[in-house]
Amino acid sequence: MVREGEDEQLDKRTGECLERFQVRQHKSPKSENKSYFYNSFLAVGFFMLYCGTHDLLFPKPPTKNPVVAFPLISIICGIANVLHACGTFFYHSCRCTEGHILDISGMFTVTAFPFFYSLFRLLTVPSWDSTRNTTPISKLSLPSLRPLQLKVVLLCVAIAAFFGVGVWWSGSHHYTDERRDAVMTVIIVSDIVTSLLHFSLKLHSTQRGRVFKGMARAVVMLLVGLTVHSIDRFHKTMFPMLCFPSSPLQGHAIWHVATASSLFILYYLDRTENFVDLSATLKTFY
């Protein structure tokens, strides 16, 4: 199905849609360059799925942090990233309605992951008390997170429901680009506020320096992506290199890489909480 008002009227049949995409890829360096960068969310999604599957096969002691203790969190967010990547690929290649719906609903869901997880931490996981907050984590006996199992399931249901609402809204007559931008603004602001509160109130004191440096990098990446994306959309004549068909540096492609990188950094910070580094979360035996 083709979105109404699009200048490229493609046949409804999937085969012809893909055939025309291949022709466009051959003729348009811009489309080809962009398509490589769209794989950034696919890479993040596959990484989350790998981590979640590894945690299922080789469970860790349920004391470190919810992301590692409960693989469902990584798996549900990995699936959302893969669906978003597929929607982005098909929408930008053939302007089909199905691609548009997956692109928008996936974008909302993966961008809102830091908000959902940080809110979950703020509402459910106890804070470190002042008498233990200066003791190195390696010397602490951490409490089990098993009582949180039902709440983790509810968190994943909420994320899936949010994706479903995005599917309905992006395919309805209520959708406009202006409303999409407004929703994304609310989501990004909510991400930053809840992540700051989560990192400030819930982390052990020895973790905060590393985490806040990582969050600063994530925010910088997000701001770079937003800036370049805005130039690409509204100020093309200022930096024509970002819009030139054969240029490897294109605004929308940079936006995808920057936002995917920002999401990866935040997932990395959540996953490595109370661990030495990322490799420690992927050990086979404990």
- Please indicate whether residue 234 or residue 28 has the higher confidence score (pLDDT): 234
Least confident of 31-35, 177-181, 242-246: 31-35
Total of domains in the chain: 1
Residue 179 lies in a domain: yes
The proportion of the chain whose per-residue pLDDT surpasses 90, expressed as a percent, equals 42
pLDDT number for residue 204: 81
Q: Write out the two tokens for 121.
A: 């931490």
9: in domain: no
What is the spatial distance between Cα 24 and Cα 6, in angstroms, rounded to a whole number?
16
Strand, coil or helix: 2: strand
* pTM of full prediction above 0.85: no
Domain enclosing residue 109, as ranges: 15-125+142-281
Per-residue pLDDT band at 241 (split at 50, 70, 90): low
Whether the CB-CB separation of 262 and 110 falls below 8 Å is answered with: no
Q: Distance between CA 69 and CA 87 in Å, rounded?
A: 30
Count of residues making up the chain:
286
SS3 135: coil
CATH number at residue 240: 1.20.1070
What share of the chain in percent tops pLDDT 70? 77
Mean of pLDDT values over 136-159: 84
Q: Name the band, by pLDDT with cuts 50, 70 and 90, for residue 265.
A: very high
CA angle, corner 277, sides to 215 and 195, nearest 5? 25
DSSP 3-state assignment of 231? Answer: helix
Name the residue among 215, 225, 197, 22 with its Cα closest to residue 125: 197
Q: Is 1 helix (H, G, I), strand (E, B) or coil?
A: coil
Residue 136 lies in a domain: no
Task: Give the span between the Cα atoms of 171 and 263, in whole angstroms.
Answer: 25
* pLDDT over 60 (residue 24): no
Mean pLDDT throughout 11-24? 39
Return mean pLDDT, the chain.
80
User: What is the per-residue pLDDT across 83-124, written as a single tens digit (0 to 9) for each?
Assistant: 999 998 888 777 788 888 999 999 999 999 999 999 999 998
Digit-coded pLDDT (tens) for 69-78: 999 999 999 9
DSSP, res 146:
G
What whole-number distance in Å separates Cα of residue 268 and Cα of residue 60? 17
Identify the CA nearest to 230 among candidates 193, 197, 181, 196.
181
- Tell me how far apart the alpha carbons of residues 259 and 125 are, in angstroms, rounded to a whole number: 27
In this predicted model, what pLDDT tens digit does every residue of 159-179 receive, in sequence order?
999 999 999 999 898 999 889
Q: Residue 60 domain-assigned?
A: yes
Residue ranges in the chain assigned as alpha helix (H): 14-27, 29-37, 39-57, 66-69, 71-94, 97-124, 149-170, 177-201, 205-234, 251-271, 278-281
Asked if residue 99 is part of any domain, the answer here is yes
